[in-house]
A = this chain, B = another copy of it.
């Protein structure tokens, strides 16, 4: 009656009091190694044998820590999302200027992205492979994160008296930032601060000139 259902001893409900049982620590190590492998070969392309090899643990041993490969991806994605949102809220609470709040969002996103590139890539790239409950929950977190940015954008828009689609602005911004996983090279592209400044300048200046609906689209 041991290995069939470990029931996850320590962590009651992700409490802030860092209980950190050995179980949790070992699991975190596995998640970290698994992130590397998912990053290299993709979720479908990575086999449980690849993952066990990367963790230095036997294939069967892995199933003591989680019940399926799917749940493993879920744990990675959930943890990544929760962490980046935690940091964001921490940073946002000291700033009230609408423009600066958007700049904070951009900086936080890029900083976390570059510091945890593999995890963020797995989050971006294996976006809709999780189905049912697991997929729904991660999709909820994603939606929450999107909502935060959308509110920042709306607030900024009203403060400046601008008119543009917040939805498309936010999604364009996400595209701009998330796409870096396909091209970023630390040796030629700057660090997160530099990137955040450049993208922030471009984006903010871009939306500041927006004019509602009909205006001179002078050809075609």
Contacts and interface: CB of A to CB of B under 8 A. Distances in A.
A172 B205 CA distance: 14
A147 to B, nearest CB: 14
Interface in A166-187: 167-169, 171-172, 174-180, 182-183
How many copies of the chain does the oligomer comprise?
Answer: 2
Interface residues of A, number: 45
A101 to B, nearest CB: 12
A195 interface: yes
Contacts of A205: 205-206, 208-209
A210 B201 contact: yes
Interface in A98-138: 100, 107, 125, 127, 129
B189 A179 contact: no
Given A175-B175, A179-B171, A205-B209, A164 B44 contact: no
Contact of A198 (B127, B164, B189): B164
B175 A42 contact: no
A182 B45 contact: no
A99 to B, nearest CB: 11
8 contacts: A42-B42, A125-B125, A164-B198, A165-B198, A167-B188, A171-B180, A201-B209, A201-B211
Interface of A: 42, 44-45, 100, 107, 125, 127, 129, 164-165, 167-169, 171-172, 174-180, 182-183, 188-189, 193, 195, 197-199, 201-211, 217, 219-220
Q: Which 7 A-B pairs have the closest CB atoms?
A: A175-B179, A206-B206, A44-B44, A202-B206, A205-B209, A175-B175, A175-B176
